[in-house]
């Protein structure tokens, strides 16, 4: 398969969405934010979007790793607000020796229902195929590990300034946010959950055979999804007026920041700088990448 998915479903879409964000709030999403090569996030220097997209686009080997091997029907929009639980009683009990391989209750017992089941849609010959990258089914991690629920609810403080032509953004989540207890330490379960769901411990499992780069693609999908979302999260006052500054538009700005962090993580993985991610080994392509560069 050619790299059509990467360009139309990720790279170009991000650029179009951020152009819309700039049109909507030109002061917040200005060229000072969107066109610089570097960005400082909580005091850490990172690659900003223009450099990130350039490095992805110019490296055919990275594209080979990141391009999904197939498209399928996916849930697509499993945001927390779209997951409804009819019976919360099992969730309120205390369980000893809880594990995903030995669950104390089933999805049926919780009476889980999903609203708005849709994929983003992969277009072929101008037609929406109704299918997309299967990695989108990992959306619940986007809400927890990716901090989306905290950002969407604006449970954070943010500061944004320019210094020596580099945007500096500081973001701190409120310690008493309503998701803190539910999501605290959830990263410790990432390996167990993914291993049980996709049989990662079986070399012959479907994911190991057909998508061995899934972990790098997971980080990539998190980053591309966040960086394409700012236009949907602008705030307007009760009078319908949009105030264009970092404080009033802290939600889309924080979403952009989260995306930049995940895309930097993706490139660090591709460059062999990350050996492990939440107790799962990251495929190491350092020697191959060095040979390609030579």
Q: Where are the domains of the chain?
A: 4-77+130-293, 80-116
Q: How confident is the model at residue 286 (pLDDT cuts 50, 70, 90)?
A: low
pLDDT tens digits along 225-254:
999 999 999 999 889 999 999 999 999 999
pLDDT for residue 191: 95
Q: Hey, is 133 helix, strand or coil?
A: strand
> Which pLDDT does position 75 carry in this prediction?
63
- Phi/psi at 191 (nearest 5 deg)? -60, -45
pLDDT at 1: 39
Tokens of 50: 């223009």
195 token code pair? 């291993």
Q: At CA 227, angle to CA 221 and CA 228, rounded to 5?
A: 90
pLDDT at residue 294, rounded to an integer: 45
Partners of 253 in the beta sheet? none
Mean residue pLDDT of the chain comes to 89
10 vs 287, residue with greater confidence: 10
Q: Summarize the confidence of residues 187-197 as an average pLDDT.
A: 94
- Strand ranges, E, within the chain: 38-41, 44-47, 71-72, 83-85, 112-114, 123-124, 127-128, 132-133, 156-163, 166-173, 276-277, 280-281
User: Rounded to whole angstroms, what are the CA distances from 190 to 145, 153, 199, 213, 282?
Assistant: 9, 23, 13, 16, 14
> 157 near 171, Cβ under 8 Å?
yes
Task: Read off the pLDDT of each residue in 92-99 and give the average, rounded to a whole number.
Answer: 85
- Report the pLDDT averaged over residues 248-275: 97
β-sheet bridge partners, residue 173: 156
- Does the global pTM surpass 0.75? yes
């Amino acid at each position: 398969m050619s790299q059509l998915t990467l360009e139309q479903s990720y790279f170009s879409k991000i650029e179009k969405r951020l152009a819309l964000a700039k049109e909507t709030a030109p002061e917040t999403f200005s060229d000072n934010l969107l066109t610089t090569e570097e960005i400082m996030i909580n005091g850490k220097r990172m690659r900003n979007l223009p450099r990130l997209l350039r490095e992805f686009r110019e490296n055919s080997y990275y594209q080979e790793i990141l391009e999904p091997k197939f498209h399928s029907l996916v849930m697509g929009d499993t945001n927390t607000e779209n997951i409804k639980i009819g019976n919360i009683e099992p969730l309120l009990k205390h369980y000893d020796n809880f594990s995903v391989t030995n669950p104390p209750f089933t999805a049926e017992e919780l009476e889980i229902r999903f609203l708005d089941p849709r994929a983003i849609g992969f277009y072929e010959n101008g037609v929406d195929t109704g299918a997309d990258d299967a990695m989108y089914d990992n959306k619940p991690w986007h809400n927890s590990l990716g901090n989306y629920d905290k950002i969407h609810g604006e449970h954070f403080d943010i500061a944004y300034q320019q210094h020596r032509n580099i945007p500096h953004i500081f973001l701190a989540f409120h310690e008493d946010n309503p998701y803190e207890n539910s999501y605290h330490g959830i990263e410790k379960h990432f390996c167990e959950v993914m291993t049980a769901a996709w049989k990662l411990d079986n070399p012959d499992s479907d994911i190991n055979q057909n998508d061995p780069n899934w972990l790098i693609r997971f980080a990539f999908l998190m980053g591309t999804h966040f960086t394409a979302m700012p236009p949907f999260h602008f705030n307007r006052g009760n009078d319908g007026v949009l105030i264009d500054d970092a404080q009033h538009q802290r939600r889309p700005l924080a979403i952009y920041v989260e995306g930049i962090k995940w895309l930097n993580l993706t490139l660090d993985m591709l460059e062999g700088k990350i050996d492990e991610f939440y107790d799962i080994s990251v495929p190491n392509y350092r020697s191959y990448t060095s040979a390609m560069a030579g």
